Amino acid sequence: MIVPPASGRRESLAVLVLALLILAGSSLVVALHRDRVSVTALPGWQVDLRSGLNAAEQGLTADLLNAAPEFAWLPDNAPAALAAEGLPPFVADATAEARGGHAWQELGAGALRGWLGLPARPEAARPMLLRMDKDSPTVWIGEGAGVPAALDDAALIAAGWRQVVTRYDASVTRKDAHP
């Protein structure tokens, strides 16, 4: 009696067919459960934090939003007092200089208050404004704008200021078509 040599053809073919079925099934599941992301356009008076600001402006925005909650705990919110407390971006250090060397001034009183930073080096960053409406901070960026006459939305928009907002509808790793 002749015994044929052991062959794994049938087993190999079965494993290959099974792998192809798993691959086809998983591809079908992924294709059917894919989310369609619709990118919404921002109004002209808003700018996206990630795609509309350079790195220095992004850093200034983060510093301003991190400093805002501290204002309630400080007796004096003048820029010099904030700098004495060591709060970025009000303190004049190497980071502030690299981000445009903004000179800060306090604007307004009452419910609407603001801290305006005019850059010594406008090529590094544009003018920035932290506006506090009661305890709600918003950051605005000046598009060639100077000191605003008032701090309400309509006055800031009319003066050429744009509100910095964050959209979560586009991937961080993907460049979207909106500036």
Q: What is the pTM of this model?
A: 0.71
Which pLDDT belongs to residue 179? 45
How are beta strands 112-118 and 128-133 bridged, if at all?
A: antiparallel
Token pair of 53, please? Answer: 């600001």
CB atoms within 10 A of CB 149: 11
Query: CA-to-CA distance for 146 and 159, rounded, in angstroms?
Result: 8
Residue 136 has pLDDT above 80, yes or no: yes
Residue type, 163: Q
How are beta strands 128-133 and 136-142 bridged, if at all?
A: antiparallel
Which pLDDT belongs to residue 168? 67
Strands (E) in 12-134, as ranges, are: 46-48, 103-109, 112-118, 128-133
35 versus 132: the higher-pLDDT residue is 132
